[in-house]
């Protein structure tokens, strides 16, 4: 072997090179390793039915996590998405139910009406939070915590604390239907992912998001409207939470007032595990999707092995803390 080959080999296995490889592909390797371990541990894990079940379970958290990614990239946080899921689910369901007591006057309406109402409710919740955060400089943690409580209260007020049952088959199709044997929730997640990837990687708006997250003062100096951009990312998060709420109601066949509890934690976990920095400006939507899949696969695999959900929560918490520690170490080393 020549000296040149030795130098190239040393460069390939250098610590900087290994660190770059782990930053780029570590999340994919972790996902593959988890899948291999679970497939060896349980014979039912790699069956077609179970894989479809994992994708269905991941779809709602994936949609929420993608919206959360937009917010976290700008150094924000959105703790309200779980409550917005419940609020949009129960309001849209009231437009699509055949129940004489749970529906609004004139229900059931065509499914596109219920879907439009649900999206508008989610967007409105996001707009309120975005206005408070961007215009009044209220910390995102406080503003979204307030919306978490307010949206949950509005859900109970609107539905009287009762579920909205008997949803129409047309409305339920977004949660139970399929196209070419692919479940609709999975298709909707794929559409949201593709659109979000394009926005973040191919548009000026996406570049502005990374710029604001990296250094908001420099972004403002360079002419970026930081206030408007921060407002818009919360609108996006609220709209996607509305979509997730309608998918959940359509899947279960009824809208429950207690739906969405702790969903914000799973969404944040998927984003952080996927490599998006809580300090803003660093992260990829692909990593978020893999992070959501890791959580879905982990929950499914532990269920197959008969491990109680309490232990799953402990493991999930450890994953979040570990991911944040790695992020902090990467920031300190930069």
| CA-based nearest residue to 195, from 143, 236, 159 | 236
Q: Is the pTM of this model over 0.75?
A: yes
Q: In which residue are the tokens 């949206």 written?
A: 151
Whether the per-residue pLDDT at 221 is higher than 80: the answer is yes
Give residue limits of the domains in the chain: 43-329
**CB of 261 closer than 8 Å to CB of 82:** yes
On the question of pLDDT at 302 being above 70, the answer is yes
Going by C-alpha positions, the residue among 84, 108, 128 that lies closest to residue 248 is 84
Angstrom distance (rounded) from CA 66 to CA 199: 12
Residue in 125, 54, 114, 52 with CA at minimum distance from that of residue 84: 125
For residue 157, pLDDT beyond 80:
yes
* pLDDT score, position 8: 53
CA-closest candidate to residue 34, choices 328, 316, 326, 277: 316
CATH topology of domain 43-329: ABC transporter involved in vitamin B12 uptake, BtuC (1.10.3470)
For residue 290, is pLDDT > 90?
Answer: yes
């Amino acid at each position: 072997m020549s000296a040149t080959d030795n130098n190239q080999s040393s460069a390939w296995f250098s610590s900087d090179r290994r660190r770059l490889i782990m930053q780029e592909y570590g999340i994919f390797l972790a996902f593959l390793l988890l899948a291999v371990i679970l497939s060896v541990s349980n014979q039912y894990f790699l069956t077609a039915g179970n894989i479809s079940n994992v994708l269905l379970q991941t779809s709602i958290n994936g949609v929420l996590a993608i919206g959360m990614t937009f917010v976290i990239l700008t150094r924000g946080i959105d703790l309200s998405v779980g409550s917005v899921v419940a609020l949009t689910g129960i309001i849209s369901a009231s437009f699509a139910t055949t129940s004489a007591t749970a529906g609004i006057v004139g229900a059931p309406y065509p499914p596109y009406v219920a879907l439009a109402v649900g999206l508008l409710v989610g967007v409105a919740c996001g707009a309120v939070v975005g206005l408070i955060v961007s215009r009044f400089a209220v910390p995102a943690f406080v503003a979204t915590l307030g919306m978490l409580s307010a949206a949950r209260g509005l859900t109970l007020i609107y539905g009287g604390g009762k579920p909205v049952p008997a949803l129409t088959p047309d409305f339920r199709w977004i949660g139970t239907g399929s196209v070419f044997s692919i479940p609709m929730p999975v298709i909707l997640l794929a559409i949201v992912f593709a659109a979000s990837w394009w926005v973040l990687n191919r548009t000026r708006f996406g570049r502005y998001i990374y710029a604001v997250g990296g250094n908001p003062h420099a972004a403002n100096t360079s002419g970026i409207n930081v206030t408007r951009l921060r407002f818009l990312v919360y609108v996006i998060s609220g709209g996607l939470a509305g979509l997730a709420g309608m998918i959940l109601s359509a899947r279960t066949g009824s809208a429950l007032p207690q739906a969405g509890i702790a969903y914000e934690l799973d969404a944040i976990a998927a984003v952080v595990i996927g490599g998006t920095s809580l300090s803003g400006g660093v992260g990829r939507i692909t990593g978020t999707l893999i992070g959501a899949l890791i959580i879905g696969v982990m929950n499914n695999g532990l269920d197959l092995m008969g491990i109680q959900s309490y232990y799953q929560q402990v493991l999930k918490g450890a994953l979040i803390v570990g991911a944040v520690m790695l992020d902090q170490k990467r920031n300190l080393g930069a």
